[in-house]
Structure 1
């Protein structure tokens, strides 16, 4: 996990040096009397700045030295910081791309010592193997599971100019293709129908997983819930990718977007370069922070489905832990006080709602928040159409020992999607079939390795035959499989 290519090392070194030069970098102990905090939550920066300022003035509080990273760059910066003994005191795990159990086993975190009041607030959302390891709390979720990352955001001004109704956004693949083409034709040169963050294969993979579920795939992350089989090559995945490729073929995709990260794609979208942009619920929180005037043009549509009349249903596993305390931190007491007093509370859920990030753990507060009407509409759709998915580790905590043995399978789904959009992958079905096969083989090897070390685990632990579509998979159901 600690191994990096020379190119990756140099890129990370540049990133870390730049962050440190701005006063936000430095690892545990590097901030003097300060607590160091790194994360990728662009839209929550202002809210956290206020919390940090309040904390610094409170009894037992200290100043907090904060660094923001784009999620595509944070992983390398964290790798380099760990190698050099400069991990921040508190961080998110963006870009590390490994299960929490693997990171904990590899020494990336230490247990939290939350106050009794804080423990009581988060207790119902904690799962052994996700947030709790060997009975000790390492992290807690701050977001709701009722979310998906492929929202159809659009510029209402460009849509209306094309003669389309902003109150009736496209819902199907064909409707979207037609709308993107209509906007591009009406706007003339220099404006396109659609832009996307194609330079972020991890994000692409997540978004295609969502689209496949909305298309009817009965599972998540390429795995069928009832059987536990890998099925990246299922028709739902192929149909989604063919739809995305059709947009490139229609020439409604902004030229040059193949290498863009989300911050670039989103900025070009708000500048009027394209009408439609696929992004998560955090989109308005970031977009309106940078360009407040765009709020007058912000429109939203639900995740797309293949056919008219299809009711949207997507599934999301319990949310992971968000903030992690590095093992080298010399400010653990202050870090625990900060997390307990400010980040486990209902007030923080209200803060998250107001910043239009992912929906907060207490999703009910959104309707009473000051969020943009489009965001509130989206959260209403989430409540109706996003269901709690089964999570293998919640059924058998020894799954964490399998996760610790898993090796990454490449190319990933996101790599394949990116390749299909750039033209580098021409036989998508073959690539997806190989991904299914390679993933299954890697899981088999990981299970065997875990069992050889005493884990009580098998393939059945990845299957949930009592799972039903359009229903939450609740804790009592694990024992009834």
Structure 2
């Protein structure tokens, strides 16, 4: 296996000057034999370092196959992946296989825009994936353009903690807190036992991640919807009491001086590193927290504990509702040998691959049973086990009517969004939280309705009813059978 793309050949064509800076993420330089379309070399761009070990393993195995090929691999920076792909498309230098991180368009729009071509997975791979493939998410007009690698049962808000500090504080590491009040009390005990540390640290400097976590805490406070949109009616209701309860919980930790200094500007990398110094009690993060700590902050790994979702009170059963898992890898329109690339991608659907994903301790693999066959930290296994009981597949308008993609394609981020509003509440710039959340709800409803009108005007058969699911019930999967 070779790593990285050809810097010299990429920098030809439009966007060359800007691309020079973006391609600084390439691991090594290679010669021009690795261009997309070569009969004996496939090019692969990625943004996930957690998948690098298992990908390198299947690349090496693929190269040894009589009908295989070498793979030239580039790990791009996640924040720059979208722009790098845009520049590559302008100069007709997309790789054979890539992720779509940063493109921020629904799959249907990317297919219409001639970004990707269908994948021809082998029969065994298709059989393994059969129950996990969804129209609009993985298939367009009956053709497969991507497929999921990860389980739908995951979220951003697991409770990670310092087991050593918990012991010093008189807490039982085996029974982490499950309610807001219990978390607040435990954070106080952790802080008191830390010798000058803090009970909790947060990545408030990341508005998108903050938004996702507040959304999940709101669901655990009784919000019957996802991303601000109520399942039963389709209305946006960020101003619902459940969102206020979730945000107030986080703000109370700040007011009670339990939050580590600097949290308001930290990203997840900074917050996780501070957490791993051993003087912070709790950090709320996704499952990848274990993998990152084990890889880059290894001395702290034996002290890491993990638990499930927090709820507003003990009477509230924890639950979050998620959409089907997006596909990870795509075959670009530039790829001249789709059959060769598809044979390689088929290797990313095996038990061996899923165990490799699990070993990386990021998002759990599509087959959760692979966790039992992998070498993982006990904290990671505990968190993933909680996903089985606390994460449910929610309804999605795209599955109800694929024409909704025409509405999605017209959507633009509303600013300030939920994350920015919560940031403002922490900084003191937002003094009337309900008012700001109401403005966000109104703006989201107006934009969605305007986009429906525009999509209908362009010929899409779509309507307001496509966004309402009157038969939705809590604590159950809204599976594919519901759309028939």
Q: Do the two structures share a fold, i.e. TM-score over 0.5?
A: yes
Secondary structure at 2:72 match in 1: strand
Secondary structure at 1:353 match in 2: helix
CA gap 1:436/1:397 in 2 versus in 1, 3 angstroms: same
CA gap 1:15/1:248 in 2 versus in 1, 3 angstroms: farther
CA gap 1:254/1:282 in 2 versus in 1, 3 angstroms: same
CA contact (8 A) 1:151 1:278 kept: yes
Question: Are 1:232 and 2:227 an aligned pair?
Answer: no
Specify which of 371, 376, 395 is matched with residue 376 of structure 2.
371
Q: Give the superposed CA RMSD.
A: 2.6
Task: Give 2:313's aligned residue.
Answer: 307
Question: Are 1:141 and 2:155 an aligned pair?
Answer: no
**Structure 2: any 5+ residue segments left out of the alignment?**
1-14
Q: CA deviation at 1:26?
A: 10
After alignment, is 116-125 or 13-22 more displaced?
Answer: 13-22
Secondary structure at 1:405 match in 2: coil
Secondary structure at 2:402 match in 1: coil
After alignment, is 192-201 or 142-151 more displaced?
Answer: 192-201
Distance 1:265 1:398 in 2: 41
What do the CA deviations read for 1:286-307 (whole angstroms, capped 9, x no partner)? 2112233333201012111111
Correspondence 1:115-134 to 2 at 5 A: 115-134=122-141
CA contact (8 A) 1:195 1:253 kept: yes
CA gap 1:450/1:91 in 2 versus in 1, 3 angstroms: same
CA gap 1:196/1:52 in 2 versus in 1, 3 angstroms: farther
CA gap 1:363/1:210 in 2 versus in 1, 3 angstroms: same
Question: Are 1:391 and 2:389 an aligned pair?
Answer: no
Secondary structure at 1:390 match in 2: coil
Specify which of 356, 359, 364 is matched with residue 351 of structure 1.
356
CA gap 1:246/1:44 in 2 versus in 1, 3 angstroms: same
Correspondence 1:436-455 to 2 at 5 A: 436-455=441-460
Question: Are 1:247 and 2:214 an aligned pair?
Answer: no
CA contact (8 A) 1:146 1:387 kept: yes
Task: Give 2:7's aligned residue.
Answer: none
Question: Are 1:221 and 2:227 an aligned pair?
Answer: yes
Specify which of 259, 263, 266 is matched with residue 260 of structure 1.
266
Task: Give 2:171's aligned residue.
Answer: 164
Distance 2:189 2:330 in 1: 47
Question: Are 1:469 and 2:474 an aligned pair?
Answer: yes
Q: CA deviation at 1:11?
A: 12
Specify which of 412, 415, 432 is matched with residue 437 of structure 2.
432
Secondary structure at 2:43 match in 1: strand
After alignment, is 84-93 or 175-184 more displaced?
Answer: 84-93
Task: Give 1:18's aligned residue.
Answer: 24
Task: Give 1:6's aligned residue.
Answer: none
CA contact (8 A) 1:20 1:26 kept: no
Distance 2:20 2:221 in 1: 42
Secondary structure at 2:26 match in 1: helix
Task: Give 1:42's aligned residue.
Answer: 49
Distance 1:26 1:77 in 2: 18
Q: CA deviation at 1:73?
A: 4.0
CA contact (8 A) 1:29 1:330 kept: no
What do the CA deviations read for 1:429-468 (whole angstroms, capped 9, x no partner)? 2221111111111111211122122222111111110111
Secondary structure at 2:409 match in 1: helix
CA contact (8 A) 1:72 1:200 kept: no
What do the CA deviations read for 1:29-53 (whole angstroms, capped 9, x no partner)? 2797643323332322222222222
Kindly report structure 1 stretches of 4+ aligned residues shifted beyond 6 Å: 9-12, 24-28
CA contact (8 A) 2:111 2:117 kept: yes
Per the normalisation by structure 2, the TM-score is 0.89
Distance 1:37 1:431 in 2: 43
Q: CA deviation at 1:81?
A: 3.6
**Structure 1: any 5+ residue segments left out of the alignment?**
1-8
CA gap 1:395/1:14 in 2 versus in 1, 3 angstroms: same
Task: Give 2:409's aligned residue.
Answer: 404
What do the CA deviations read for 1:54-74 (whole angstroms, capped 9, x no partner)? 222222333323333453443
Correspondence 1:23-102 to 2 at 5 A: 23=29, 29=35, 34-102=41-109
Distance 1:138 1:119 in 2: 12
After alignment, is 62-71 or 141-150 more displaced?
Answer: 62-71
CA contact (8 A) 1:27 1:89 kept: no
Q: CA deviation at 1:120?
A: 2.2
What do the CA deviations read for 1:104-135 (whole angstroms, capped 9, x no partner)? 33333222122232222212211111111122
Secondary structure at 1:152 match in 2: strand
Question: Are 1:382 and 2:383 an aligned pair?
Answer: no
CA contact (8 A) 1:76 1:95 kept: yes
Task: Give 1:4's aligned residue.
Answer: none
